[in-house]
């Protein structure tokens, strides 16, 4: 990718991560990147195009980090995935914040598609890690609720940073187990899954 284009997107993510997109102008992005207004229009055509491109870049980076690195026990894979997730949160705070908070029209249209795409791919990644081919309604709700919790935890950690990252990551793994325990009381599929996960995770 063209270096100047990357610099413009990085500057845009930094601004969109700190301010509502509606309050960021093309001039703001150009100034932050040390570029001209004309150069921004040359690459992107307008602010919406720039915003979409910047979020797509952040989403692609996050998704690449979450791909499994090895075939391990599901809860260990989940823990390793969380570490890479929070590596992204820490190293690309503005991109993460821009991707998941605020945004024009509450993430409608293309923006909503990008955010929902990240969530859907994360959902399918987790089901593959847990070796589930067809999640039933209770498991689907459970996993989507956990993904929402991880997003919220990431945004809260960026704002406060008053919980050590390793402790937060362990909490989120335990949160997954706790949610599955609740779901197991309502659905045999979740019960079987939980028993299998705990059996594999046992020393």
Domain 56-201 has CATH 1.10.357.10: yes
Which residue, 185, 120, 165, is CA-closest to 147? 120
Ranges of H-type helices in 101-136: 109-129
Q: What is the pLDDT of residues 90-100, one digit of tens each?
A: 988 888 888 88
Burial 55-94 (b: 16+ CB within 10 A, else e): bbbbbebbeebbeeeeeeebbebbbbbbebbbebbeebbb
Q: Which pLDDT tens digit goes with each residue over 73-128?
A: 899 999 999 999 999 999 888 888 888 875 444 456 888 888 898 899 999 999 99
pLDDT value of position 107: 55
**Secondary structure of residue 161 in the 3-state scheme:** coil
What does the domain layout of the chain look like in residue ranges? Answer: 56-201
Distances from the Cα of 139 to the Cαs of 132, 148, 189, in angstroms?
10, 14, 8
């Amino acid at each position: 990718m063209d270096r100047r284009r990357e610099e413009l997107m990085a500057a845009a993510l930094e601004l969109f991560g700190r301010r509502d997109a509606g309050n960021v102008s093309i001039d703001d992005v150009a100034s932050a990147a040390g570029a001209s207004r004309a150069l921004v229009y040359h690459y992107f055509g307008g602010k919406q195009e720039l915003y979409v491109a910047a979020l797509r870049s952040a989403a692609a980076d996050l998704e690449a980090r979450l791909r499994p690195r090895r075939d391990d026990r599901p809860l260990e894979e989940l823990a390793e995935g969380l570490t890479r997730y929070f590596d992204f949160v820490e190293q690309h705070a503005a991109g993460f914040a821009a991707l998941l908070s605020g945004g024009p029209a509450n993430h409608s249209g293309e923006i909503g598609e990008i955010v929902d795409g990240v969530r859907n791919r994360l959902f399918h990644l987790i089901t593959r890690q847990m070796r589930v081919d067809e999640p039933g309604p209770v498991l689907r709700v459970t996993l989507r609720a956990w993904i929402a919790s991880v997003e919220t935890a990431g945004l809260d950690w960026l704002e406060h940073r008053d919980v050590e990252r390793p402790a937060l990551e362990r909490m989120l793994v335990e949160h997954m187990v706790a949610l599955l325990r609740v779901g197991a009381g309502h659905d045999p599929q979740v019960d079987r899954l939980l028993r299998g996960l705990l059996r594999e995770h046992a020393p």
